[in-house]
């Protein structure tokens, strides 16, 4: 039976996902070891805000979160740069040094991101704004180290009370609760925020469905360190949980934002422009280079 977890933000939802998998999951196996698996899990969020479970998931890396989001939105993959930032990714590189399932090049292939921006702008009622990350021409080939965990991402416009919002739906074939889900929620939420900036739309709902939501036995003990998100005086995450709302400024097009992604990744923002970075863009720069 499918599991539905509803929450205002990813930060609140993450705690519930971890608990549900531990409590209701079944023993399973995988190519990387024993898992506790809960099939057919959907996480429905009211907003893409606060998607990264900062302050509640121990060992979380804002640098990895930033690197994955910059490559996804920027439409590129740089294995050497990523491994220099996070050496643990080295084991997923193919013999030619590349990541087989890297998302960035796949969002750019066939102008996928550019195409959906155009569709959502010209046809507000479209149901065809879809980015496909699983490519059967590539991914039915056995023996690779890094197949895409994400199958597809879809967008639609519309919301309650007649608001023109951008909604997002992510479909995963497989999701590792510990090493994958926190960063997946963040990078795709940042993509949603960025498209809102390009299209001048309000952020709507974020829906994340995984056919297999699982926790590796090797991460089980660490998962008991997950705690409720930190709170300030009001009912919102406190200053320890600040995160950006996408990349770029209102009025930027996709090409300009993708160029900015590379500048932020490689530290190529001109010194005189550093102080002028939007707060969200500054977050990415500091996460990578701070």
In angstroms, the CA 264 to CA 70 distance is 8
Q: Taking a C-beta distance cutoff of 8 angstroms, is the pair 60, 54 a contact? A: yes
Q: List 147's β-bridge partners, or say none.
A: none
Handedness of CA 44, 249, 187, 9 (dihedral sign): negative
Q: Taking a C-beta distance cutoff of 8 angstroms, is the pair 17, 56 a contact? A: no
In angstroms, the CA 200 to CA 253 distance is 11
Residue 127, helix vs strand vs coil:
coil
The whole-model pTM stands at 0.94
In angstroms, the CA 175 to CA 41 distance is 10
- The alpha carbon of residue 78 and the mean position of all alpha carbons in its chain are separated, in whole angstroms, by 17
Q: Which residues contact 110 (CB under 8 A, 6 or more apart)?
A: none
Which DSSP category does 231 fall into?
B
Q: Which residue has the tokens 């770029």?
A: 248
With left for phi above 0 and alpha for psi between -120 and 50, is residue 161 left, alpha or beta? Answer: left
Q: Taking a C-beta distance cutoff of 8 angstroms, is the pair 225, 58 a contact? A: yes
In angstroms, the CA 7 to CA 223 distance is 20
**First vs last C-alpha separation in the chain:** 45
What CATH fold (topology level) applies to the domain 3-226+242-289?
Thymidylate Synthase; Chain A (3.30.572)
Where are the domains positioned within the chain? 3-226+242-289
Q: In the chain, which residues have pLDDT < 70?
A: 230-242
Q: List 176's β-bridge partners, or say none.
A: 214
What tokens does 233 get? 């005086």
**Separation in Å, CA 155 to CA 35, 76, 129, 208, 267:** 31, 21, 5, 12, 31
Q: Which long-range contacts (CB under 8 A, 24 or more apart) does 172-175 make?
A: 172/208, 172/209, 172/210, 172/211, 173/134, 173/149, 173/210, 173/211, 173/212, 174/149, 174/210, 174/211, 174/212, 174/214, 175/41, 175/149, 175/210, 175/212, 175/213, 175/214
53-77 pLDDT per residue, tens: 988 999 999 999 999 999 999 999 9
Residue 99: per-residue pLDDT:
97
Residue 242: per-residue pLDDT:
66
């Amino acid at each position: 039976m499918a599991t539905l977890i509803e929450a205002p933000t990813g930060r609140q939802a993450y705690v519930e996902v971890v608990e549900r998998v531990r409590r209701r999951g079944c023993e399973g196996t995988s190519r990387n070891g024993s898992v506790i698996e809960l099939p057919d899990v959907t996480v429905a969020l009211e907003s893409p805000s606060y998607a990264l479970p900062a302050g509640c998931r121990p060992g979380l890396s804002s640098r990895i979160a930033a690197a994955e989001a910059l490559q996804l939105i920027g439409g590129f993959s740089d294995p050497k740069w990523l491994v220099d930032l996070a050496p643990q990714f080295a084991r997923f590189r193919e013999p030619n040094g590349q990541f087989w399932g890297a998302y960035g090049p796949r969002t750019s292939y066939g102008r996928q991101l550019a195409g959906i921006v155009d569709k959502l702008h010209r046809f507000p009622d479209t149901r065809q704004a879809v980015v496909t990350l699983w490519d059967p021409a590539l991914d039915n080939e056995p023996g690779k180290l890094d197949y895409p965990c994400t199958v597809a991402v879809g967008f639609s416009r519309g919301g309650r009370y007649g608001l023109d919002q951008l909604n997002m739906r992510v479909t995963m074939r497989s999701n590792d609760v510990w090493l994958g889900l926190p960063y997946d929620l963040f990078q795709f939420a940042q993509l949603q925020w960025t498209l809102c900036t390009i299209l001048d739309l309000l952020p709507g709902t974020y829906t994340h469905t995984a056919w297999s939501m699982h926790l590796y036995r090797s991460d089980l003990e660490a998962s008991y360190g997950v705690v409720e998100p930190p709170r300030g005086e009001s009912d919102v995450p406190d200053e320890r949980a600040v995160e950006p709302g996408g990349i770029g400024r209102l009025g930027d097009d996709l090409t300009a934002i993708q160029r900015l992604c590379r500048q932020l990744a490689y530290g190529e923002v001109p010194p005189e422009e550093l102080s002028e970075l939007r707060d969200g863009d500054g977050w990415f720069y500091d996460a990578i280079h701070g």
